[in-house]
Amino acid sequence: MSGEDYPKDCVFCRIIHGEEEATFIYRDANVSAFLDIHPLFEGHVLVVPNKHFSNIMDVDSESLNATMQAAKLVSEMLVKNLKADGINIVHSTGKSAGQTIYHFHLHVLPRHAGDDVQFQRWWFSRSHKASREELDALGARIIR
């Protein structure tokens, strides 16, 4: 990964190029996976393409596919080796979605029974059951 041009202000690019420290759990020619320095759970892993892309709309198909394949592999490692009961894979694009590092990445979160983070409770407390008419009208707006 040497000799590539990349944004020097991107911490993930600096990690990939060995200019910042990280604990890698997987690396290949296209993707790197390393432990998050601010873990939500023990074993919280970031999976990033080695090439710089700002967000999901910027990433090319090859890098997106490689990143998702690596997330699957990391998920299997977390289930097998940390005995995770489940996995959440989270991505944010844009400031309003909570993106703070503008290098496309996935958070792979190992989950255990009783870890007391209830996405479902939050989700259902903020959502409503949409009517067929609402869904059809919204679908038409999205695909136009």
Residues with catalytic annotation?
A: 105
Residues 52, 41: Cα–Cα separation, whole Å: 26
Q: Please report, for residues 68, 71, 73, 115, the alpha-carbon distance to residue 25 in angstroms, rounded to integers and kept in the order given.
A: 15, 11, 10, 23
Contact 104, 58 (CB under 8 A): yes
